[in-house]
Chains A and B, each alone.
Chain A
Amino acid sequence: MATVTHEAQALGLGGSRSIEAANDHELLAAIRDGDEAAFQEIVRRYRNPITNFIYRMIEDYERAVELTQETFIRVYTSASRYQANYSFSTYIYRIATNLAISELRRRKRRKFVSLFSPFVNDEGEAVEIDPPDGNPLQDQSLIEDERRKAVSRAISSLPEKYRAAIVLRDVEGLSYDRIADVLKLSEGTVKSRINRARNLLREKLSAYI
């Protein structure tokens, strides 16, 4: 049973009002007071979108899970410094974006070469090979699977600054002003980057358009 703190009681949490009904700012205030249940609720709300976002950025599921955990740890440890000037989703996506971009830069410096995927794309990044499977498969699922892989490869081939913008817009569905807050850019710059990213993806995915 979660301990309901004084401030959480003042905010109405844990009493007649369930913790699921609290907004993000209220939960952050409760986390600041040491309310573990509020933190668990924040994790429940954002673990899937953040995991998906980071995975789209770095194309590595296990590492995406680690970075998602790191995102929540940072939210927890810096709860006292959080200011409600902007929405919490902007705040957490900003942390996740910075971690993902740091990971991409770290990989570029180390120049990872997988023993199992010696092939590289135009950007010099290792890509998985997909050897042909001789077993008969259902055409539709094969087509869908191949299309998803092509989309993933195309997104991975984008420069990181375009990748973050297009994933936040077309994969996560954030609005332009929210993306501008997350990336700390002007709306005009965000629109420009998304436009360029779509032009690049259009060329790479021309077979599917």
Chain B
Amino acid sequence: MMGCKQIKSLIDEAERPNLLPYEAAGHVAACPSCQVFASDRETLRKLLAAGARVSAPLNFDAMLQDRLQQRKAGGSPSWFVPATYLRLGAVTAGLLVVVLVAQYGGVFNGPKPSGTHTPLEGPVAVAQPDLKVRAPIQPVGNATPVNTKAAQSQMLRWIKTPRGGAIVARSTPESGVMIADHQVVIVRGPKGDQVIPMQTVSMGAQPLLYGNGARPTAARPVLSSF
């Protein structure tokens, strides 16, 4: 059994205003509200359909031929479609924005040296206080060997860490102190190399080193990021 709402929908959707579906006709005969609605709709639709229709002027064909000839004669080249070029421009601008955002976000930067952002698992003993590197520092991977005096004075070196990774260290020839980028400081002295673990606290992406000079500390490094 359909309600008045459904019947009114059927009345509204009828192909002709006075040609109701069977279900609607039966209901309308017995429902005053739907009768009024059906009558109103029929009158409105007839009113709209009865509006004066306009037709094309007598010289329409001639005017159209003139415009067509003008379009053929002075039209832009077929390959030039303004809408297409606008779309191309929009796509290019969009790609440029994506590239700039990716560049800003560092997507295109090369891989960082291993060990720099290695997540820590629990307390970490970075180096034993008594670890001494006596032998010439051996490079890892494809780094250039540093067993020559010339190589040892290089500013940048790959150094193995006791944890099995590798870090980049910078040396300062005048002081003999090598400042590592990550967690340890290697001091080269007359008695050989000494590895000193340093406390680090990260603020954002930049680790800060805390230490009390060259004395080895037993404190484990603390890494925390904000």
* Chain A interface (Cβ < 8 Å from any Cβ of B): 40, 43-44, 47-48, 51-52, 55-56, 61, 64-65, 68-69, 72-73, 76-77, 147-148, 151-152, 155, 166, 170-171, 173, 175-176, 191, 194-195, 198, 201-202, 205, 208-209
Contact = CB atoms under 8 A, between A and B. Distances in A.
Contact of B12 (A64, A155, A191, A209): A191
What 10 pairs across the A-B complex have the smallest Cβ distances?
A170-B48, A47-B56, A48-B55, A51-B56, A209-B43, A55-B54, A52-B53, A69-B64, A151-B51, A52-B54
A13 to B, nearest CB: 19
Contacts of B44: 198, 201-202, 205, 209
Contacts of B15: 175
B95 to A, nearest CB: 28
Nearest to B43: A209
A191 B13 contact: yes
B55 A52 contact: yes
B78 to A, nearest CB: 9
A64 B52 CA distance: 15
Contacts of B205: none
B71 interface: yes
Given A51-B55, A55-B54, A202-B40, A69 B48 contact: no
Interface string B20-53: 0000000000000000000011011101110111
B226 interface: no
A194 B45 CA distance: 11
Contacts, number: 80
A152 B52 CA distance: 9
B49 A166 contact: no
7 contacts: A51-B54, A52-B54, A52-B55, A72-B64, A147-B47, A170-B49, A173-B49
B60 A69 contact: yes
A190 to B, nearest CB: 10
Contacts of A64: 54
B61 A43 contact: yes
- Counting contact residues on chain B (CB < 8 A from A), the size range is 20 to 34
B160 interface: no
Given A72-B64, A191-B12, A194-B12, A171 B48 contact: yes
A76 B69 CA distance: 12
Nearest to A76: B68
B41 A198 contact: yes
B48 to A, nearest CB: 4
A65 B57 contact: yes
A164 to B, nearest CB: 14
A40 to B, nearest CB: 7
B2 interface: no
Contacts of A76: 68
A73 B13 contact: no
B143 interface: no
Contacts of A191: 9, 12-13
B48 A151 contact: yes
B63 interface: yes
Nearest to A50: B56
Contacts of B43: 208-209
Given A69-B63, A73-B67, A166 B48 contact: yes
Interface string B63-84: 1100110010000000000000
A76 B43 CA distance: 40
Contact of B60 (A47, A52, A148): A47
Contacts of A170: 45, 48-49
A48 B56 contact: yes
A194 B71 CA distance: 37
B51 A65 contact: no
B68 A73 contact: yes
